[in-house]
């Protein structure tokens, strides 16, 4: 009986310390792993930006992922993105990109991609939580901002 009590006492002390030492990744390790994954996706120059929201001035709207995707394949981009105006057709992006550049901000775990496509200046920022923001500027048109993700 004494051996059973001693065994139970040792098990009570040992089990919590064993389970504590086997905890998962820390928050910083998870952020770093996600950043490394996004970095590989961007470096491949073969990825898609899938929009889930569109913002214009003080308006915003949720959009369908299937109809609001642009694909970047080497130096080309193609796809369409919705606007917030009911009478306006989606913004079509198709053709060769110019002035493509990528900036990796390792300390902030943030990636910024800039390029020109047709009349648009585009900036795609991928954050550490995997949210991505695409800003489209044009001299003739309003600025549109899209929130989504890259894949």
List C-alpha distances in Å: 104 to 5, 10, 111, 112. Answer: 58, 50, 5, 7
Per-residue model confidence as pLDDT tens digits over 11-23: 666 666 555 545 5
Fold topology of 25-150: Lipocalin (2.40.128)
Q: What is the pLDDT of residue 97?
A: 93
Per-residue model confidence as pLDDT tens digits over 70-103: 999 988 999 999 888 776 778 888 999 999 999 9
Q: What is the pLDDT of residue 44?
A: 93
Q: Where are the domains of the chain?
A: 25-150
Residues 30, 74, 54, 89, Cα dihedral to 10°: -160
């Amino acid at each position: 009986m004494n051996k059973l009590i001693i065994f139970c006492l040792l098990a009570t002390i040992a089990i919590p310390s064993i389970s504590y030492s086997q905890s998962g990744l820390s928050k910083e390790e998870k952020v770093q792993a996600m950043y490394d994954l996004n970095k590989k996706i961007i470096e491949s120059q073969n990825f898609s930006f899938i929009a889930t929201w569109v913002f214009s001035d003080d308006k915003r709207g949720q959009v369908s992922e299937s109809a609001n995707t642009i694909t970047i394949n080497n130096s080309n981009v193609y796809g369409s993105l919705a606007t917030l105006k009911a009478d306006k057709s989606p913004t079509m992006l198709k053709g060769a990109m110019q002035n493509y550049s990528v900036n990796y901000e390792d300390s902030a775990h943030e990636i910024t991609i800039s390029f020109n496509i047709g009349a648009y200046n585009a900036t795609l920022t991928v954050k550490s939580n995997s949210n991505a923001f695409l800003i489209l500027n044009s001299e003739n048109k309003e600025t549109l901002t899209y929130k989504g993700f890259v894949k």
